[in-house]
Structure 1
Amino acid sequence: MNKPHRALIVIDVQNEYVDGNLPIEYPGVEGSLANIGRAMDAARAANVPVVVVQNTAPAGAPLFDKGSHGWALHEVVASRPHEHYIEKRLPSAFTGTDLAAWIRQHGIDTLTVAGYMSHNCVASTVFEALHAGLAVEVLIDATGSVPYANRAGTASARQIHDTFMVVFQSRFAAVLPTAEWIGVLATGAAPERDTIYGSNQRARSAKPGAAL
């Protein structure tokens, strides 16, 4: 198997998610920020290019108003070098940007995803990357979610984050902790991937009295 040609994409690590109007609740934001920094440092050491993405909302929006403190990249990302920068206005880092062209230009076949939020911009980017024919990796402890309550119901940040990670691992990505990913960069080992069928069969067999 050929060695993957990776890029690390760091999505929307902006102050809005740390001390702004949309604070990440799970996993704890200080821990995920530290892991994002570790991933960027490891990528640099392994000659893996880093793409930094910044979300921008329309002027006057309650979140990500361009030029505001909340819109600004968090220091963990702003203080570190990167090879490419993208400003986006929709959840996926591919939509309305030059990301796909940059990936083709640099021969990238594997996209490692970190940043915020697990269930929104990360998810949109993961899904589109798979559909574009890329292998995808998600750093489970270098991203995070917020809780929601609306007419459809309520969900805690942990419920949302954990559910999306399980779904990613079932088909869309290899999901792994940052420390394991750093080891993968060093050893060349392939991160574990799974299937919808396998994931479902395990869940069914775990039910009391289940017979397959």
Structure 2
Amino acid sequence: MMTQTIRTIAGIAPVVHADPAATALVLIDFQNEYYDGKLPLPDGLPAARNAARLLAWADRLGMPVFHVQHVGAANGALFAAGSHAAQIHPLLAPAPDHHVVTKDRVASFAGTDLHAQLQALGVHTLVVAGLMTHMCVSTAVREARSFGAGSYRVLVAADACATRDIADWQGGVVAHADLHRATLTALHDNFADVRSTGAILELPVVAN
């Protein structure tokens, strides 16, 4: 039985070093809605803590940092504009030299200038962490691989992402840990290198 990933079969080499000038950290939707709002995530706080480790690493290396922030309608059910729920969690508060990209949908690239900003900086590798694994993180990673010759190499920090239990179409419930693992496995098959935060932090730093 074949168990190789599509990336392995295609001969796509894994990311083996970090070039701060050509790599960006992308933090997706670390917002209060997922902590004390309508969508609390069981592993949201551990994910934020690991994302904070990545943030400190990126800042130390002078790596560009992008915070993607979902902002809904002012009277919307989720991430309402101007609300506490839409604000970025204090553990990951943007610094003055960070980039904040706002969106009004699941996608991080479609409808925003994220790609244009990354291209202007010469970025070709992304380190991604965020919420929720099966939703906005998965969508962003797949988008990042959709630009043809301009597509990005992507590293996903598995333990700096999180999701929730959700109802399935058969009347049951998919546990958050199972959904998280299945989503990351699908991304690892064809769209990204999936690593732990610790493994990413241990990458040799090499400037090309």
Pick aligned residue for 1:58 from 45, 66, 73: 73
1:164 corresponds to 2:196: no
Pick aligned residue for 1:14 from 18, 31, 38: 31
Structure 2 CA distance for aligned equivalents of residues 30 and 22 of structure 1: 13
Which amino acid in the other structure matches residue 13 of structure 1? Answer: F
Pick aligned residue for 2:157 from 139, 163, 181: 139
Pick aligned residue for 1:149 from 167, 179, 191: 167
For 1:193, the equivalent position in structure 2 comes to none
Question: Which structure 2 segments of 5+ residues have no match?
Answer: 1-15
The question of whether the paired residues in 1 share the 8 Å contact of 2:94 and 2:100 is answered with no
Aligned-pair CA distance for 1:125: 0.4
Which amino acid in the other structure matches residue 193 of structure 2? Answer: A
For 1:120, the equivalent position in structure 2 comes to 135
| Paired positions, count | 185
Please, what TM-score do these two structures have when normalized by structure 2? Answer: 0.83
For 2:55, the equivalent position in structure 1 comes to 40
Question: Which structure 1 segments of 5+ residues have no match?
Answer: 189-212
Structure 1 CA distance for aligned equivalents of residues 195 and 186 of structure 2: 13
1:178 corresponds to 2:197: yes
Structure 1 CA distance for aligned equivalents of residues 70 and 94 of structure 2: 18
The question of whether the paired residues in 2 share the 8 Å contact of 1:40 and 1:80 is answered with no
Structure 2 CA distance for aligned equivalents of residues 81 and 31 of structure 1: 25
Which amino acid in the other structure matches residue 97 of structure 1? Answer: T
Classify 1:173/1:81 alpha carbon distance in 2 versus 1 (closer, same or farther; 3 Å).
farther
SS at match of 1:21: coil
SS at match of 1:92: coil
Which amino acid in the other structure matches residue 106 of structure 1? Answer: L
Runs of 4+ aligned residues of structure 1 deviating over 3 Å after TM superposition are 1-4, 79-82, 150-153
Q: Which has the bigger relative contact order, CA under 8 A and spacing at least 6?
A: 2
The question of whether the paired residues in 1 share the 8 Å contact of 2:188 and 2:194 is answered with yes
For 2:98, the equivalent position in structure 1 comes to 83
SS at match of 2:141: helix
Give RMSD over aligned pairs: 1.8
Classify 1:72/1:2 alpha carbon distance in 2 versus 1 (closer, same or farther; 3 Å).
closer
Please, what TM-score do these two structures have when normalized by structure 1? Answer: 0.82
Name which one, 1 or 2, has greater alpha-carbon Rg: 1
Among the aligned pairs, what percent are the same residue?
A: 32
Aligned-pair CA distance for 1:31: 1.1
SS at match of 1:142: strand
Aligned-pair CA distance for 1:155: 1.0
